[in-house]
Homo-oligomer: A and B are copies of this chain.
Amino acid sequence: MPQLIATLRDTTAADGDACCGTLTTDDAMGREQAEATAQLLKAVADPVRLQLLSLIRSSKGHEACVCDLTPAVGLSQPTVSHHLKVLTEAGLLTRERRGTWAWFQLVPARLDDLAAIFR
């Protein structure tokens, strides 16, 4: 679970003084955590993938199959499949084969992770 931006300490600024050396790097996000959080954000920082998430979310059962999603976003089938793979690998979707079709379902807990990043 990628953690959020560090704890907020409401220290009212007493600025106007010197500049460099006033920074406390201890409470801030570390590099690995920033890397993990950025990777999750990259998965949703794309208009097509946002549309896909929104489409699935507005569907009954919070799931949809590729044959419905492809015409809805107006891109080629391989492209849609690629975006769904990215979202799945990010943990935001689960894939399930039902007969000939592949159904994708939201992972609410992972969406909560996203919402938690910025409080």
Residues of A within 8 A of B (CB): 5-9, 11-16, 19-25, 27-29, 31, 34-35, 37-38, 41-42, 44-51, 53-55, 57-65, 67-69, 72, 98, 101, 103, 111-112, 114-115, 117-119
Contact = CB atoms under 8 A, between A and B. Distances in A.
A73 B58 CA distance: 40
Contacts of A23: 55, 59, 64, 68-69, 72
A39 to B, nearest CB: 8
8 A-B pairs with the lowest CB-CB distances in the bound complex, closest first? A13-B61, A41-B45, A29-B54, A45-B45, A23-B68, A34-B47, A115-B118, A11-B60
Given A19-B65, A72-B23, A72-B25, A14 B54 contact: no
A117 B119 CA distance: 11
A46 B58 CA distance: 29
A67 B69 CA distance: 48
Contact of A50 (B14, B38, B46): B38
Nearest to A110: B118
B44 A29 contact: no
Given A11-B60, A41-B45, A59-B22, A111 B101 contact: no
